[in-house]
Amino acid sequence: MLNDPVVRNPTEGEQIIIRLLIVTGLLCILNFSYFFFQPQYFGHPLLFTLLCIVLAYGLIRDLTLWYYYASITVPETPELKRHFTVDILTTYFPGEPYDMIVNTLTAIQNITYPHTTYLCDEANDPYLKELCAEMGIVHVTRTVRVDAKAGNINNALRQATGEICLVLDPDHVPQPDFLDHIVPHFQDESIGFVQTVQAYYNKFDTVVAKGSAQQTFHFYGPMMMTMNAYGTVNAIGANCTFRRKALDSIGGHAPGLAEDMHTAMLLYREGWKSVYVPRILAKGLVPATITAYFKQQLKWSRGTFDLFVKVYPRIFSKLTWRQRLHYALLPVHYLAGVIYLIGFFIPILSLVLSEAPWTGNFVYFLIIIGPVLFTSFILRFYIQKWLISDDERGFHIVGGILEIITWWIFTLGFVYTIFDKKVPYLPTPKEGEDVTHFSLLLPNLAIGVLSLGAIAYGLPRDFTPFSIIMAGFALLNAAFMFFSVYLAFAVTNETGNLRERLPAPARTLGRHAKRQLLWALDTMTLTVRKLAPLLLVGVLVSALTLMSIYDRQGFAMIESVPTTVELSTTPLLGIFYPAGPTGLTSLERVTELEDRLLTHTDIISSYIPWSGSADPEAEMQHLQDIVERGSTPLITWEPWVSHFPGSDSMAALAREEQALSYIANGRFDDYINAFAGRVARLEKPVYLRFAHEFDNPDYPWSPRGNNQPEDFVAAWRHVHNLFQQAGAKNVRWVWNPWKPKAMQEYYPGEAYVDFVGLTNLNYGPLEGGPQSNSFTDLYAPFAAAMEDLPGEDVILAEFGTLGTPAEKRDWLVAARRSILEDHPEIRAIVAFNSAFDRNIPQGADYPGDVLDWTADPALLFNPETAANFVSIREAECWAPPAASTYLALPDRPVRAVGYKKGEGWSTHQYVPSRANLEHDFSLMREAGINTIRITNPGIYAHNLFTISQEYGLDVIMNFWIPETHDFVSDTLELAELREQILEKVANNRDRGTLLHYSFGNDLLARLADLHLQPNLHAQRIAYLNWLGGLIQDIKKLDDRHPVMISVLAAPGVERVIEDFHLLKGPADAVGLIVGSLTSLERVRHLTEQYKGRLVVSDIGIEPLRNLRKSEESQYTVINNWQNEWRRTKLTFDGLLDFRARRTPTFTAVANYWNDDKAQDVEIPEIAVLPPALQPYVGGIYHYRAMVLDEKGWVPADSLALEKYTFEWSLVKLDTFQNPIALKMLKEEGPVLKLAMPPNHLQYRVLLTATDGRYSRSAQSPLLPR
């Protein structure tokens, strides 16, 4: 029984997992350190240094914990073959409760192993003397009180004669079998002491007791078990058993505030060994109040530091290397006080100084620190297998908070050690102290108040995501500090009393929440234990993957965002084009069609019967192939049910009857769910046409099969709901009636239908009608019936005609013209291009077995006749203000610049913090700029408006409309965009520096790149309607600031302005976007013709310089302040370079607006001389900086240019040679050595010469062309 420990040794597999987790953690720490300490991320020197100290401590502490997890060992209890004499000593200090000491003495006397009990009574208490006499206990006292507890024990040891000595604190109650598990280990003559678990019977009495106990769980569990293997077990004076010979070898119990640690150090010095028995053999008291806890921690902190300074150096040479490391690591825990103090001041100083300690992206920081934290989390929970009892598992949050608020106690112990200030040895209070002196709370309250003050001061001054994060840390720190006030009051600290004061429902809810939390904790613990190897692999893969994506210097991974959108007709065009009598379109035929007509098929139609396929996986692969080629599948899903297992035993289903009723009642849910899951996995839009032509008697799901309209509606809704539950939210539901008269009673509801599908097939005389039915004849009855339904878009799911080739040509051309001109509700046409249709109308006089619907696809995809252009019609919402008065732009010069920092902040390399804004705005004043134009600033709006006002700059609030919207159909997205813009107007309309609102991109021009006529005109009218309504709403919110729209100053802009009445709508002004190739004569003419209403709203510096000063508009906006640097976009059109230094363009603008008073750039013209060699991937190539002087182009290294620094960067290009990414190289100087990257044509070398304030740049291909 004694050889059956409470916890066991790890198995070989478990030990491997633990060590792999530790190795993974080490790799993650190295990975974090490498990327975190990149020089480009260093922030404010002081804050960065403090942050490095905190992070370094955290990593060292993690490594320390992992070191103590690496070799868990649980010793077996040997068989006892000899008898030892044992003395048990416990102490009493004046003021300790009698009940406690009596209870302990009674328990000691009940220990079954023969022993002699000694009470070391510092008070010489008469009651205790009498008690000892009654119980047969040796009462020992002393008159000369030296060395505190150690001296008291040593005094008793002078009388004691036992071979073994057990020292118990007076609050620790031993079990009767205590010595049975301890004494056998002393048969090994090298063992100097045996330590057991220090457990507590009051650990759930108060919040402080709970937290204090939580701090010990891992220590007395896996950490002390690992010390078994290292030979570094700590002696804990509360319940430690010593060999008397070992104690005598060091002169008895060692004195000090940490007397047990001191004793163990000296025993190790003398070569004695130790054993840790992970069993709870006694339980004592843990500090239950904040005062008692603080007293205990001050004593331990001061004692540990004192031993490290005074004893550790003297015994260092006589310890093993494990023991040397152990006693060097123990003080690390108490250094936490200083580290917490530094950690508290990082957010405080960051907020007050408006500076950041680290300038990398916060998401990037989470990516590099995440693997470290996750590995630590996995290891912590996996290692909890070796906690002593099940109730010790958990996050131990209270223990962590308690440690944080004890920062000043730990720090005090550290400071006292430096100044060698004595701390009196007093036993840890054994009874709760109801009153906490206010002075004990002052340090925490001071930090809390400072943190809140920093938030109140810093956030309004610099409102950025990083300052918000810092404010969050400061607020969290303040919450921790004020939590100490809660802990200071015994009444609220007694959790039982607190619970009793809560209402009954709250107590019930609390118990339920606790059960759920414990269940979740158990589940998580078991999951981590079982899946630790998989989680380990996941950590490594995630870390490597995310770092390869986000690493700034790994920019070769960056790919360009498509900058062009393929032209498309409207509506979408699709086809059903089988190669035989099958329901699947032949993708080979579609490919041949696309190659021949130079087109793309938007939709590919397939007919899939229920359970009728011999190979459902082949069908899904067919759909996957459609998706992968960039088309959208249209599935006509036919509910044939007689083939299902079990259908033959049901007469109705065997006859294909009542299928819809059975579907609605769930009989086929398994099949539907499986199909829905497969469709969901396509992860692309899919049109689903379920039970089409439900009123067509040719199909058994019609009334012919005993199905009623209500059966269809119920079945449709049921199938729709199952798809939603299966996650198939990529499905677009196409509801397809056969005849118009059935539409009302079969309609399942607007929430269940995305499109109305129509069968638009011209059978001509086969249906008993005229020789041919036109498209209009076939469609008109449906159009009339749809007027009574919600405004659903239409898909012509089966579109075609019978007849001769000439008849088919005429019918299709006329049908297409009618659709384009008169039916914008038709969103897609799917040609029924099948020659294998056996559905011949009953009674029709038709000689063949199949109907041939095939026609030349060119008639649909590339028609010979173009649709007639629709004349310009006015947009209803594009009307002048009710009073026909326009707000005028300012009558003073507006010299503005586009300021893009803050726009798309998550992908932008620049942060508009206060420091950056102050730098930029001071330079703007230097350049003569008096206004900035900001676009979608988001969270940075506060900073931009507030700091610009400090520098006397006005602000143009610019809105950029995404160019991918379909203004005819994207009603929900456009409504959401409208609300976003109006919200920004409402939030900023009262800003004192706001000049006006602006819509900065020319959608009228851009739409021409995206759409063909007549859809182009429909898009433009819809856009103007949407924009006009939005401007009217803006004016309702803010009638004080003008609104401007923008147009590209391209050929034909005059007609655009006139035809679309741009100056007669709700906008107060129109801005011209002037490109590098724009005719300046056109600009002069337009600004003169529409003086005051038309201005230059976007222009580069070169066109601006070519405008004579007298011709310059009062209103001018230069397009960009600083070279843009986004994750997938670069520009070189800024007045500042990528490192915010003045460029020659800056000087040109400053001279232009300051009458040539600005300082000229003294940096000479530069160029790059690339090597004239064959490209070899990985080969080292030399690039030389060239400088232009009076002799011509000469190598920079041949001149004395010490005042200039030459910086090198690598620029990545997309397939259109647009720059998309930048990598700043570490190498500086006039010569660059570069390893040739793959695909060298996608890169350019960027050389920058700078004197620190000004810079000049030049680019070159990697190799001459």
CA–CA separation, 1176 and 415 (whole Å): 62
CA–CA separation, 992 and 1013 (whole Å): 45
DSSP string computed for 667-730: TTHHHHHHHHHHHHTT-S-EEEEET-STT-TTSTTSGGGT--HHHHHHHHHHHHHHHHHTT-TT
Q: In whole angstroms, how far apart are CA 678 and each of 204, 629, 1017? A: 52, 18, 40
Of the candidates 657, 798, 1112, 1207, the residue annotated as catalytic is: 798
3-state secondary structure at position 980:
helix
Asked whether the beta carbons of 291 and 440 are under 8 A apart, the reply is: yes
Helices 616-628, 669-680: crossing angle, 10 deg rounding: 30
Largest CA distance in the chain: 130
Residue 798 annotated as catalytic? yes
Ramachandran assignment for 666, one of left (phi > 0), alpha (psi -120 to 50 degrees), beta (any other): left
CA–CA separation, 278 and 275 (whole Å): 10
CA–CA separation, 127 and 423 (whole Å): 31
766 Cβ contact partners less than 8 Å away, ≥ 6 residues apart: 802, 840, 841, 844, 845, 846
DSSP state of 470: H
Could you tell me which of 1033, 934, 916 has the C-alpha nearest to residue 986? 1033
DSSP state of 1235: E
Asked whether the beta carbons of 208 and 486 are under 8 A apart, the reply is: no
Residue 973 annotated as catalytic? no
Could you tell me which of 1137, 1128, 1161, 1152 has the C-alpha nearest to residue 1258? 1137
Helix (H) or strand (E) holding 998: strand 994-999
HEC-encoded secondary structure of 26-80: HHHHHHHHHHHCCHHHECCHHHHHHHHHHHHHHHHHHHHHHHCCCCCCCCCCCCC
**Torsions phi, psi for 794 (to 5 deg):** -115, 140
3-state secondary structure at position 353:
helix
Of the candidates 14, 693, 792, 903, the residue annotated as catalytic is: 693
3-state secondary structure at position 251:
coil
Burial class for 33, CB neighbours closer than 10 Å (0-12, 13-18, 19+): middle
Asked whether the beta carbons of 119 and 128 are under 8 A apart, the reply is: yes
Cα 839 to chain centroid, rounded: 55
Token code pair at residue 690: 């379920």
CA–CA separation, 494 and 510 (whole Å): 16
DSSP string computed for 614-678: S-HHHHHHHHHHHHHTT-EEEEEEE---TTSTTGGGSHHHHTT-SHHHHHHTTTTHHHHHHHHHH
CA–CA separation, 663 and 679 (whole Å): 19
Could you tell me which of 1164, 1186, 1170, 1191 has the C-alpha nearest to residue 1245? 1170
In this structure, the number of other CB atoms found within 10 A of the CB of residue 71 comes to: 17
CA–CA separation, 261 and 331 (whole Å): 12
Token code pair at residue 74: 């649980």
CA–CA separation, 1265 and 1263 (whole Å): 6
CA–CA separation, 491 and 499 (whole Å): 11
| Torsion angle defined by CA atoms of residues 805, 810, 815 and 818, in that order, rounded to the nearest 10 degrees | 170
Residues catalogued as catalytic: 693, 798
